[in-house]
Amino acid sequence: MTSALSLRAAAAALALALPLALSAAAPAQAQQTEPAADPVVATVDGEKVMLSDLQALHADLPEQIRKMPIERIYQPLLQQVIQTKLLAARARAAGLNKTPAIERRLRNLADRVLQQAYLAKHIDKAVSEDQLAKAYEAFAANHKGEEEAKARHILVKTKKEAMAVVEALEKGGKFAELAKEKSIGPSKTGGGDLGWFARGQMVKPFADAAFALKKGAYTKTPVQTQFGWHVILLEDRRSTPPPPFEAKRDELKAELGQKLAVAEIERLRKAAKIVRFGPDGNPLDDGASGKKEDRKEKK
């Protein structure tokens, strides 16, 4: 019952999302690697529907649906592609693809797909492994990792008990041994060891006290939280290291690619003869039209 309901919900969401995805007309992954296996998943009046057709539709959907594995929404996707094939065939049979308005829209769609494909190919060719390595080095050098603490604690029910723990420590008691003996927290079996944690992983009073300590020091004044009273020992402190190169690779390539795309568009713009017109059809005097011709005349 649950799977049937979720499938219907996915189908409904897909039906609503598809027009929006198509109107955007800019595929989320214009340059996709061809799948190793691309089987026929349906035929519509003899025309083959390939698995890659479903994958392309999936890639163009809004993010909240795109996050769903394709297997979960396979049936709605297949149904949508079949529906599209049926309606597109009827539109061609009626000659709608030959009307000026539709031809113009098809050209615009094709231009936008080709734009994405060209830039993706340009970036793949232009971004070298050396550039990525240097970009990662720069990122790692400027990386400011989140501060983390490694601590132990002894949790007791009352402030009086916590002060007794502090007194025992002052007399030379071993923190880990006292934790095993006195603590009521789940970490007692490990001598109160909490491992490494970031500030946001602990309740505020505990985190504030722990991160205020110097390495090797413990809280002389017990710390109260909703769990009880804590005596905290700070064992070490560190900043999280930068993520490894492979984890950042795609992001770095996207950043470099964005700069390259902007530069390539500017290069093409400068080399082209561009004349701009306003919505009334009159030439624009905005300083951006006819630049190439102006340079030729000055020469």
Instruction: Tell me how far apart the 2 most distant CA atoms of the chain are, in Å.
Output: 94
Find the range with the poorest average confidence among 64-68, 146-150, 157-161, 234-238. Answer: 64-68
Q: Are residues 23 and 101 in the same domain?
A: yes
With beta carbons less than 8 A apart as the criterion, state whether 102 and 96 touch: yes
When pLDDT is averaged across residues 281-286 and rounded to a whole number, the result is 83
**Could you tell me if residue 184 is inside a domain?**
yes
Nearest residue to 165 (alpha-carbon basis) of 149, 147, 153, 151: 153
**Could you tell me if residue 178 is inside a domain?**
yes
**Could you tell me if residue 123 is inside a domain?**
no
**Could you tell me if residue 6 is inside a domain?**
yes
Q: Are residues 8 and 101 in the same domain?
A: yes
d(CA 108, CA 79): 26
With beta carbons less than 8 A apart as the criterion, state whether 153 and 191 touch: no
- Model confidence at 11, in pLDDT bands (50, 70, 90)? very low
When pLDDT is averaged across residues 39-43 and rounded to a whole number, the result is 95
Q: How many domains does the chain have?
A: 3
**CATH number of the domain to which 164 belongs:** 3.10.50.40
Burial 183-218 (b: 16+ CB within 10 A, else e): bebebbeebbbbeeeeeeebeeebbebbbebeeeeb
- DSSP secondary structure, 68-102, as one string: S-TTTTHHHHHHHHHHHHHHHHHHHHTTGGGSHHH
d(CA 228, CA 124): 57
Q: Are residues 94 and 8 in the same domain?
A: yes
Q: Are residues 271 and 211 in the same domain?
A: no
pLDDT at residue 4, as a whole number: 42
d(CA 51, CA 42): 9
Q: Say what the pTM is.
A: 0.54
Q: Are residues 204 and 248 in the same domain?
A: no
Q: Are residues 102 and 6 in the same domain?
A: yes
**The tokens of 59 are what?**
């890639």
When pLDDT is averaged across residues 151-174 and rounded to a whole number, the result is 97
With beta carbons less than 8 A apart as the criterion, state whether 147 and 239 touch: yes
Domain of residue 9 covers: 2-106
**Could you tell me if residue 24 is inside a domain?**
yes
- Model confidence at 143, in pLDDT bands (50, 70, 90)? confident
Q: Are residues 161 and 214 in the same domain?
A: yes
pLDDT digits over 232-253, tens only? 999 999 998 899 999 999 999 9
Note every long-range contact of 201-206, with CB atoms under 8 Å and residues 24 or more positions apart, other chains counting. Answer: 203/227, 206/153, 206/230, 206/232
Q: Are residues 11 and 99 in the same domain?
A: yes
Instruction: Tell me the backbone φ, ψ of residue 130, rounded to 5 degrees.
Output: -65, -40
Chain centroid to Cα 211, Å, comes to 30
With beta carbons less than 8 A apart as the criterion, state whether 37 and 50 touch: no
With beta carbons less than 8 A apart as the criterion, state whether 49 and 85 touch: yes
**Could you tell me if residue 44 is inside a domain?**
yes
Find the range with the poorest average confidence among 10-24, 70-84, 207-221, 282-296. Answer: 10-24
Q: Are residues 133 and 271 in the same domain?
A: yes
Q: Over the chain, what is the mean pLDDT? A: 86
Q: Are residues 247 and 133 in the same domain?
A: yes
**Could you tell me if residue 10 is inside a domain?**
yes
Residue whose token pair is 């026929």: 40
Q: Are residues 36 and 99 in the same domain?
A: yes
**Could you tell me if residue 208 is inside a domain?**
yes
Q: Are residues 38 and 165 in the same domain?
A: no
Which among 197, 220, 239 is the end of a domain? 239
